[in-house]
Amino acid sequence: MRQSLQSQVDYLTAGASLAATVISDTYAPTAYSLQYRFRRGETVILEDATGDTSAGSWAVAVAGSATAELTPGIMTYVAYATDTAGTIYEAEAGGIPIRGNPARVSRSQSILDAVVAVIEGRADEGQATTALGDVQLQHMTPDELTRWETFYRGRILAEERRLRKSHGMAGGQRLLVEFQ
């Protein structure tokens, strides 16, 4: 591939769509069809590339709805070119880093939201009846609610720190150094 998919896509955020144009001197749209198979864990996405015979290129597109549940990590892909006789060739293979879906709310965050809503007196029926252990939030004392709030705030910070590290970003902790 003269212009591969991997050379154009630095990363993909889960829930976002992917659109790229690939150019191949070997597998021209006039003589081949092209299909991409994306895989992340158990999730497999099949997409036929659309050939542009005048430009000699392929348009590759994956809808955001297809990527919404992908977990952070590397999504591998293989592009298969099929000629008019039905012979299949591996045209390209690679991997695209996947970042977490920012619209996805973790269980810890939803529990924290419910605890805070009960503390502030604005909880709806679903939040008030959320149970931690065998006790619903609406039946907890203010001290218990405050302890759960502190616990879940810490848990969310740990999740965010782990996610940042998995993306190669800073962990969010301060490092104090004393120079002499």
Which helix (H) or strand (E) covers residue 155, if one does? helix 142-166
**pTM of structure:** 0.58
Q: Are residues 76 and 143 in the same domain?
A: no
Q: Are residues 95 and 134 in the same domain?
A: no
Domain that holds residue 75: 12-99
pLDDT reported for residue 68: 82
Q: Are residues 20 and 91 in the same domain?
A: yes
The position carrying tokens 């800073």 is 170
User: How many alpha carbons fall within 13 Å on the CB side of residue 152?
Assistant: 18
Q: Are residues 47 and 120 in the same domain?
A: no
**Alpha-carbon torsion angle 111, 116, 120, 125, nearest 10:** -10
Taking a C-beta distance cutoff of 8 angstroms, is the pair 16, 52 a contact? no
Q: Are residues 42 and 118 in the same domain?
A: no
| 96-100, 117-121, 147-151: segment of lowest average pLDDT | 96-100
Q: Are residues 94 and 113 in the same domain?
A: no
- 1 in a structural domain: no
Range 11-15 average pLDDT: 85
Locate 128 and state its tokens: 């008030």
